[in-house]
């Protein structure tokens, strides 16, 4: 396969990015809705203990999964001019590492069960090795589809895998109403995408052979893996500590609150990376267009996500029992605390797009270490106060890290901290004030829960928009949201950005 077959057609960048943003947003809307439905339905079919057992496995699986990709999908996406021989070499690295990690996972399963004092964990941890292998087999194929900006196909595959995973989990409860239903869904949602990636990428690996100059790609991937390794502790050590010291019931409450709030937020920003990283990578030598592209997308993410977070956090004591059932009421204070972290994460998570697209995987790794150290410190401070204490401490640490993150990002490259502050302030401030507005009127919302929640959501979005209108950047972003036509002018320089 020639090098040109790995790249999108010449002159298609604007059209591909615009269309990609539209279909990715649609796919993520379906995925988030599917995730919420999954949380609601499965929370009623399964017990907190079932979710707790799976949550005990999740940090181990996430830790092992850090190494299966080794950052090589991002290396394939980001590199200017990549050859078949290089992709083939990276494919076999992914396969070999994934197989080895599945074996390590199976061997470590008894140790994980002994750590938690929960024998049911043994078989579940070992079984998750199948998911690791499935992802490894499809890593380079999805990287090629992303590099070629085939976003419509990726969106369809994403939707199909999400729906299939939930359907399999629900159907499995009719066979065995236990934590195995959750495993069956996750395995189905790993196998189907891999099969689709192979079919649609039209690329087939050959026999493994050494390639000259592959070291630069491996080193780039190592920086991404270093970030993921550090970030693992920031994202998973809270589950480990709560499960170890407070048991599966507290962990189940924490896990449901986290999944209902922060997981959907990551599902908005992470898949958009499929669109933005390849696009920004191709604009890295054009600073004005690079900056313009990022500053058009980021405020729109904040406009969509932050008012929803503000309303949900303020109405947690109504929302959680209504959505999950009365048995989950204990999750409401945890959900509220995590909501404050959620008011910053849609701003902070896309910083990774900038590090990767600019080739700064070393800086990315170093920031991951900072995040890990400060998050672990927060978990340790909050742990004596239970799951709620961990949630509060984590939210505080998110606020403390945010200014340093953007100062660090702005040290190099076309995007400075002042650009981000100018574009993000109207929506971040507006969402915080919207939270306060909903909190103040909450005692007056005595209607049935569905009516009260709808009214609170409308108030939150309205308040955020009103505050944003007071800023020139906010007005420009709102005008952009109204006139946005995905395939047109997406990467043109917006007014007001200099």
| 175: number of Cβ within 10 Å | 10
Higher-pLDDT residue of 67, 477: 477
Range of 121-125, 260-264, 445-449, 464-468 with top mean pLDDT: 464-468
Query: What is the distance between the terminal CA atoms of the chain, rounded to a whole angstrom?
Result: 41
With a CB cutoff of 8 Å and minimum separation 6, the contacts of 285 are none
Higher-pLDDT residue of 226, 498: 226
- pLDDT confidence of residue 8: 64
Q: What angle do CA 399, 351, 251 make, to 5 degrees?
A: 55
Contact 311, 495 (CB under 8 A): no
Least confident of 151-165, 188-202, 484-498: 484-498
- pLDDT confidence of residue 492: 44
- pLDDT confidence of residue 271: 66
State the pLDDT confidence band at 496, using cuts at 50, 70 and 90: very low
Query: Which of 56, 176, 178 shows the shortest CA–CA distance to 119?
Result: 56
DSSP at 383 = G
Least confident of 49-58, 156-165, 373-382, 396-405: 49-58
DSSP at 5 = G
- pLDDT confidence of residue 394: 94
Per the prediction, the chain carries an average pLDDT of 84
> What number of CA atoms fall less than 13 Å from residue 157's CA on the CB side?
23
Contact 108, 117 (CB under 8 A): no
SS3 of 8, please? coil
- pLDDT confidence of residue 487: 43
Contact 90, 99 (CB under 8 A): no
pLDDT at 268 over 80: no
């Amino acid at each position: 396969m020639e090098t040109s077959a790995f790249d999108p057609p010449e002159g298609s960048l604007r059209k591909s990015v615009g269309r990609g943003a539209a279909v990715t947003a649609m796919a993520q809307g379906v995925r988030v809705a599917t995730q919420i439905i999954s949380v609601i339905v499965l929370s009623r079919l399964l017990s907190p203990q079932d979710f707790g057992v799976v949550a005990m496995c999740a940090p181990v699986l996430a830790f092992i999964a850090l190494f299966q990709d080794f950052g090589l999908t991002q290396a394939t996406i980001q590199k200017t001019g990549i050859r078949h021989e290089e992709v083939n070499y990276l494919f076999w690295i992914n396969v070999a590492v994934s197989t080895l990690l599945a074996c390590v996972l199976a061997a470590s399963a008894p140790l994980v069960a002994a750590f938690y004092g929960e024998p049911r964990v043994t078989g579940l941890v070992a079984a998750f090795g199948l998911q690791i292998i499935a992802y490894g087999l499809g890593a380079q194929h999805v990287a090629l589809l992303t590099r070629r900006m085939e976003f419509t196909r990726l969106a369809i595959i994403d939707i199909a895998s999400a729906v299939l995973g939930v359907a399999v989990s629900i159907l499995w409860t009719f066979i065995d109403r236990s934590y195995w239903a959750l495993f069956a869904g996750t395995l189905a949602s790993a196998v189907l995408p891999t099969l689709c990636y192979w079919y649609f990428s039209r690329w087939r690996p050959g026999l493994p052979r050494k390639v000259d100059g592959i070291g630069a790609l491996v080193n780039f991937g190592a920086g991404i893996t270093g970030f993921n390794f550090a970030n693992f502790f920031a994202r998973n050590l809270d589950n480990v500590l709560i499960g170890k010291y407070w048991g599966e019931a507290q962990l189940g409450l924490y896990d449901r609150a986290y999944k209902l709030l922060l997981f959907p937020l990551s599902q908005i920003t992470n898949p958009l990376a499929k669109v933005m990283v390849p696009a920004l990578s191709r604009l890295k030598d054009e600073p004005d267009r690079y900056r313009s592209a990022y500053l058009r997308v980021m405020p729109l993410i904040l406009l969509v996500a932050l008012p929803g977070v503000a309303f949900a956090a303020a109405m947690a004591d109504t929302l959680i029992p209504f959505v999950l059932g009365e048995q989950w009421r204990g999750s409401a204070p945890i959900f509220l605390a995590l909501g404050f972290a959620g008011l910053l994460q849609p701003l902070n998570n896309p910083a990774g797009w900038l590090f990767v697209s600019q080739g700064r995987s070393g800086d990315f790794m170093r920031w991951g270490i900072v995040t890990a150290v400060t998050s672990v410190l927060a978990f340790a401070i909050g742990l004596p106060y239970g799951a709620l204490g961990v949630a509060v401490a984590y939210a505080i640490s998110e606020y403390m890290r945010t200014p340093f993150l953007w100062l660090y990002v702005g040290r190099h490259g076309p995007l400075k901290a002042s650009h981000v502050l100018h574009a993000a302030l109207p929506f971040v401030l507006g969402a915080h004030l919207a939270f306060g507005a909903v909190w103040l009127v909450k005692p007056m919302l005595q209607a049935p829960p569905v009516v009260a929640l709808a009214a609170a959501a409308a108030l939150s979005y309205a308040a955020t928009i009103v505050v944003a209108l007071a800023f020139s950047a906010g007005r420009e972003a709102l005008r952009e949201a109204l006139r946005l036509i995905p395939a047109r002018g997406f990467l043109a320089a917006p007014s007001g950005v200099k």
